[in-house]
Amino acid sequence: MVSAIAAMKKLGMDPTKSSAAVQGFGNVGSWAAKLLCEKGVKIKGVSDISGAYWNEEGINIDEAIAYKNAHNGRLEGYTGATSMDPDELLTSAVDVLVPAAVEDVITEHNAERIQAKLIVEGANGPTSASADDIINRKGIMVVPDILANSGGVTVSYFEWVQNRLGYKWSEGMVIERAARIMNDAFEKVYATSQKYKVPMRIAAYIVAIDKVAQTYKFRGGY
């Protein structure tokens, strides 16, 4: 959740005084919740295929992960929070919303009711095209999927590099290098967003296309 913390800084949000809801509690969502929690963010709501769970005082994420792992990967029956309507999780009163489950969960039908100041897309395409205009009009910052969840691809690249070199990096080195690359990527996208006065999603596309064009040029393409 490097991009989430970077975005919170841009918005002047103190992680230790901020709250979040995470939709999806699989590999992406559970780790997003854990990493945000480690930065001091209070995780008030989480959800998985069994339903949504809310604790106004903050969910013990390590406890929730342990419960999930001991119960066939599901939070059903978890007593550290109360059950709630999964649809209401997306529009709950939190500062940060992390949709990390499936695509098209934020639509024109619920976008107007979203209260979060920041949306960090952990899933692929969780925001429908029809909801984008509403989100932008409301002034909610969105860290788009191609930026927010690109850390996994980055670390996969590190694995490829290590295999090519026949050398194993330490976990700390991997984490430090991944964080640096993700921070740099966020800063480039944010700067582009400010320069052209476009949403972060459009800015991410601009940065990506420009990078491909520049690489093609340097390799002798026309």
pTM recorded for the entire structure: 0.92
**What's the one-letter identity of residue 31?**
W
Residues 80 and 143 in one domain: yes
Q: Kindly state whether residues 156 and 212 are assigned to the same domain.
A: yes
Do 53 and 88 have their domain in common? yes
Q: Which residue has the higher pLDDT, 152 or 178?
A: 178
Both 187 and 164 in one domain: the answer is: yes
Identify the weakest region by mean pLDDT among 19-28, 89-98, 124-133, 207-216: 207-216
pLDDT digits (tens, 9 = 90+) for 115-147: 999 999 999 999 999 999 999 999 999 999 999
Same-domain status, 143 and 188? no
Which residue, 117, 148, 179, sits at the end of a domain?
A: 148
CATH code at 10?
3.40.50.720
Please give the tally of structural domains in the chain. 2
Which of 148, 180, 210 delimits the end of a domain?
A: 148
The parent domain of residue 169 ranges over: 151-218
